[in-house]
């Protein structure tokens, strides 16, 4: 069974690595011939770090960045990530290229083929078409970003609208770095956000209600300095821009993540504002949900219907991400002074209520995201010297139980435990129950024993 993944962004690379780890034949087709160092995302949230931990990559990634445990939304309204029940109670500030490098190395080490300079132009029933020829495929995953050729080829609509125009982006050096790792604020008609890459460069996003220009209008550093000063009180001695651009932010989501043997994941399936830093994270989490299901069907022990749960589990999460990042951006850009004062007062007060703070932190970090029949399974220590997310590195289900079942050692990792818990490869709980119910649960989730 051959899978072709279109796009070697973070979503496609994670997916390809997982499929290769499961022994599945996987080829990635990527238009770019080399990596770009002009990174887009720079925040990796806790749930994504848990997924990377389940692939043995989290500690290496954490070493590349700066953890932030209090996330400032605007003014004094902050979300406390430090109380999250996870090994990673923070947002990791690190450039997207660090994430992509780790995922690419892993995918190649595990045997995925990555073909660069291959621009996908369309699909045929049994193949993905590039300018140079046809690549046979039983399954195709379009992880080819916001202008997805795969989405286009299957005629999937991408409904939505632009939420914000003329956002300015600048990658700069600063003479005086901000005191907080992330500096963000909105004052009057100006909004600005500054984050470090960790190598001396900083990313600035800013927006000026009074200067709405097309994406193609030239941008100079003086304009970025001016808006930043109005929003944050200083321009931090901004100099040496290596990237200046204007962009607009859309909110769009495809209605179906699956059409026959073609799947859409990451930005190909959903886009939204950069507020909350959720785009890359959501794509990586899509990939973690889809990869083990595709591998299980390819290995022949799961029915095709398992692949439909990709839509039922991930589409609602995509819709939630659109709502939350859209809500954040609209709150940040409120027009009237009175509305902004109300937002700051109410936002600050609400986030002092522990349950509301937990909900906000859970949503933005992904830690609070459960699927209806499969809640997130937190990491647990497994005496004498292991833990659940280390066992998940085998890419298989993990059964925690007082004794090992017979006939499943090709699909299951077993660990001694008082309670019966079956954990999916993506770190969600498939089943909890009793010894009597175990054989039925194993058949339901893993097929008949060998
Ligand atoms: C300015 C900016 C800032 C952002 N900040 C954040 C942030 O802080 N946190 C966050 O989580 N997200 C952020 N995002 C969003 C994040 O960058 C994306 O959500 C993420 O890159 C999506 O990953 P992906 O793998 O789905 O798609 P992409 O990263 O877009 O990868 C798609 C890949 O497919 C390739 N491709 C495209 N078409 C073809 C074709 N026809 N044939 C072959 N290959 C093709 C492309 O070359 C590309 O390599 C930001 C985005 C922008 C624009």
| Listed range (153-157, 169-173, 301-305, 330-334) with the worst mean pLDDT | 330-334
Cβ < 6 A, ligand 1 pocket: 6-12, 29-32, 40-43, 96, 119-120, 143-145, 149, 169, 266-267, 274, 277-281, 283
| 127-130: strand order across its sheet | 120-124, 127-130, 133-136
For residue 68, is pLDDT > 80?
Answer: yes
Those residues with Cβ within 8 angstroms of residue 261's Cβ, 6 or more apart along the chain or in another chain: 137, 138, 139, 140
Cα 422 from Cα 55, distance rounded (Å): 19
pLDDT at 355: 65
- A 10 A CB-CB count for 46 gives 25
pLDDT at 285: 98
Q: How confident is the model at residue 237 (pLDDT cuts 50, 70, 90)?
A: very high
Burial 172-200 (b: 16+ CB within 10 A, else e): bebeeebeebbbbbbbeebbbbbbbbbee
- CA–centroid distance, 98 to ligand 1, in Å, is 14
- CA–centroid distance, 96 to ligand 1, in Å, is 9
* Digit-coded pLDDT (tens) for 87-139: 999 999 998 999 999 999 999 999 999 999 999 999 998 999 999 899 999 99
β partners of residue 193 = 184, 205
How confident is the prediction for the chain on average, in pLDDT?
A: 91
- CA–centroid distance, 51 to ligand 1, in Å, is 19
| Mean pLDDT, range 292-320, rounded to an integer | 96
| Protein residue with least CA distance to atom 35, ligand 1 | 7
pLDDT at 77: 66
């Amino acid at each position: 069974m051959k899978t072709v993944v279109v796009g070697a962004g973070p979503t496609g690379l994670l997916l390809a690595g997982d499929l290769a780890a499961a022994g599945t034949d996987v080829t990635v087709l990527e238009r770019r011939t080399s990596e770009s160092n002009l990174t887009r995302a720079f925040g990796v949230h806790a749930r994504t770090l848990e997924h990377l931990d389940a692939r043995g990559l989290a500690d290496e990634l954490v070493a590349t960045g700066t953890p932030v445990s209090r996330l400032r939304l605007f003014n004094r309204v902050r979300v406390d990530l430090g109380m999250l029940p996870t090994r990673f109670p923070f947002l990791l500030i690190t450039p997207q290229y660090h994430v992509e490098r780790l995922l690419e190395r892993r995918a190649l080490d595990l045997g995925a083929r990555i073909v660069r300079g291959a621009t996908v132009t369309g699909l045929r029933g049994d193949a993905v078409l590039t300018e140079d020829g046809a690549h046979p495929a039983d399954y195709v995953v379009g992880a080819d970003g916001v202008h997805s050729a795969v989405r286009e080829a299957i005629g999937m609509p991408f409904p939505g609208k632009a939420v914000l125009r003329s956002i300015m982006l600048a990658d700069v050096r600063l003479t005086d770095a901000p005191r907080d790792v992330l500096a963000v604020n909105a004052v009057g008609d100006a909004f600005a956000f500054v984050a470090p890459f960790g190598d001396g460069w900083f990313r600035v996003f800013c927006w000026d209600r009074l200067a709405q220009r097309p994406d193609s209008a030239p941008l100079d550093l003086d304009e970025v300095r001016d808006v930043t000063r109005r929003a944050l009180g200083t321009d931090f001695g901004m100099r040496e821009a290596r990237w200046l651009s204007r962009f607009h932010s859309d909110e769009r989501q495809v209605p179906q993540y699956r059409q026959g043997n073609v799947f859409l994941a990451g930005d190909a399936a959903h886009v939204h504002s950069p507020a909350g830093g959720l785009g890359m994270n959501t794509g990586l989490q899509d990939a973690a949900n889809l990869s083990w299901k595709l591998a299980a069907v390819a290995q022949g022990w799961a029915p095709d219907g398992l692949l439909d749960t990709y839509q039922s589990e991930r589409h609602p999460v995509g819709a939630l991400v659109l709502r939350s990042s859209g809500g954040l951006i609209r709150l940040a850009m409120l027009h009237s002074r009175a509305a902004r004062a109300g937002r700051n007062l109410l936002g600050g007060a609400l986030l002092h209520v522990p349950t509301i703070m937990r909900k906000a932190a859970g949503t933005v970090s992904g830690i609070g995201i459960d699927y209806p029949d499969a809640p997130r399974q937190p990491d647990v220590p497994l005496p004498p010297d292991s833990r659940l997310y280390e066992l998940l590195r085998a890419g298989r289900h993990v059964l925690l139980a007082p004794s090992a079942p017979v006939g499943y050692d090709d699909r299951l990792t077993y660990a001694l435990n008082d309670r019966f818990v079956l954990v999916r490869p993506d770190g969600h709980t498939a089943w909890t129950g009793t010894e009597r119910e175990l054989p039925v649960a194993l058949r339901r989730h893993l097929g008949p024993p060998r």
